Amino acid sequence: MRAYNFSAGPATLPTEVLTQVREELLDWQGKGLSVMELSHRSSEFMQILAMAEQDLREVLGVPDNYRVIFCQEGASAHWDMIPLNLLQGRSRADYIETGYWSYRAIEEGRRYCQVNIAASNRSDQFCAIPAQNDWRLDPEAAYVHYCSNETIDGLEFNWIPDTGKVPLVVDASSHFLSRPMPVERFGMIYAGAQKNIGPAGLSLVIIRDDLLHPPVPGTPFLMSYHDQVLANSMLNTPPTFTIWVASLVFQWIKRQGGLTAMAAVNQRKSAVLYDALDRSGFYRTTVKRGDRSRMNIPFHLRDPALDETFLREADARHLLQLRGHRVVGGMRASLYNAMPMEGVLALIEFLQEFESRHG
């Protein structure tokens, strides 16, 4: 029986990509060595990096006035790097609070500047995204930060905030490359790799040229976007293996028909699962319909005493890593690009069967 991995990240990768990795692991392109053993300064690796960037630009439609950085740091590091690099003498920045990850960015941002929480759904138990009409944006803010898909709370923006001249900065970690994205609407986009990009150990930054300036004096050298761009993401040894796997994922997305095709499949996958959950009185979800994430679907059993039995039985059926994040409990099914529709249907069959035995 095939296993399906619903982890929020590190997450399932396309089987085709993993097979390719296995085939080339010991002997990359007939060179007699592993890609892991290539010097990052070799012409071979430089070519891998250039191809990865080119494929990403093509898949996402990155305009020429944006730079791409392959960062060694996880997504969390950008909560510090963003203020260090983007404040540029200003003392205030706007943050939107919509759940766990946007809050973590806020906490970190407070080390560097006066954080204005321009909108928050905390009093709403993080169940709905605050409408833009209710945002109190500061025209003097250095940037506006938000998280476009809350991996833990299961909310996803299906619209792009309008912040006028103030650069919009987005943590797109958990739905990056799941659908087309108008890059030109953003000052900066960042995303950790371990969801739709590849294995852990990498994050991507896409930043508009005019935002690249030397950071606050005293900033650790690896944390300068400006210098990373000048060094072509090689201020130090980059995560070469992870970048190679990411490049294979970008090529896989192209073969699937690009982001428009990805978006259509992702829409169908999440719709059938939400539909199954909505039709049942045994399971419940909490996020408002229009704000539900297509990638991360948290749900609860009405009787939490059954949680462990549910997880044990799911595991026995090779439906893996469905446990919800510790801060919200319950279950969570992550349906990233690499999760096939068959995996979602297998989960629905199990949900219904479990309900019929325990409901």
As annotated, the active-site residues are 101, 171, 195
The minimum distance between CB 30 and ligand PMP, in angstroms, equals: 34
> Closest distance between ligand PMP and the C-beta of residue 191, in Å?
8
How many binding residues for ligand PMP (CB under 6 A)? 11
The residue from 151, 233, 247, 337 that contacts ligand PMP (CB under 6 A) is 151
Tokens of 13: 């990768």
Query: Which residues ranging from 90 to 109 are in contact with ligand PMP (CB under 6 A)?
Result: 101
* Closer CB to ligand PMP, 53 or 150, in the complex: 150
End-to-end CA gap in the chain: 26
Residues 241 and 246: their CA atoms lie apart, in Å, by 9
- If one counts every other C-beta atom within 10 angstroms of the C-beta of residue 339, the result is 22
Q: Residue 235 to residues 71, 127, 198, 225, 279: CA-CA distances in angstroms?
A: 10, 41, 21, 10, 53
Instruction: Tell which positions 152-211 bind ligand PMP, by CB under 6 A.
Output: 171, 173-174, 192
> Could you identify the residue written with the tokens 């983007």?
86
**Interacting residues with ligand PMP between 213 and 232 (CB under 6 A):** none
Q: Collapse the DSSP code of 144 into the 3-class scheme (helix H, G, I; strand E, B; otherwise coil) and give the result.
A: strand
Helix, strand, coil % (nearest 5) of the chain?
40, 15, 40
* Residue 76 is a binding residue for ligand PMP (CB under 6 A): yes
- The answer to whether 334 contacts ligand PMP (rule: CB under 6 A) is no
Query: What's the closest the beta carbon of residue 9 comes to ligand PMP, in angstroms?
Result: 5
Q: Does 298 bind ligand PMP (CB under 6 A)?
A: no
Nearer to ligand PMP among residue 6 and residue 350 (C-beta) = 6
Q: How do beta strands 203-208 and 66-71 pair?
A: antiparallel
State the Rg of the chain over Cα: 21
Looking at 39-47, 70-78, 118-126, 208-216, which segment touches ligand PMP (CB under 6 A)? Answer: 70-78
Contact 302, 273 (CB under 8 A): no
Distance CA 324, CA 310 (A): 12
Q: Is 74 in the site for ligand PMP (CB under 6 A)?
A: yes
Pick from 108, 166, 107: nearest CA to 135:
166
Chosen residue from 4, 5, 6, 9 binding ligand PMP by CB under 6 A: 9
Q: Which is nearer to ligand PMP, 161 or 276 (CB)?
A: 161
Residue 75 binds ligand PMP (CB under 6 A): yes
User: Which parts of this chain interact with ligand PMP (CB under 6 A)?
Assistant: 9, 74-76, 101, 147, 151, 171, 173-174, 192
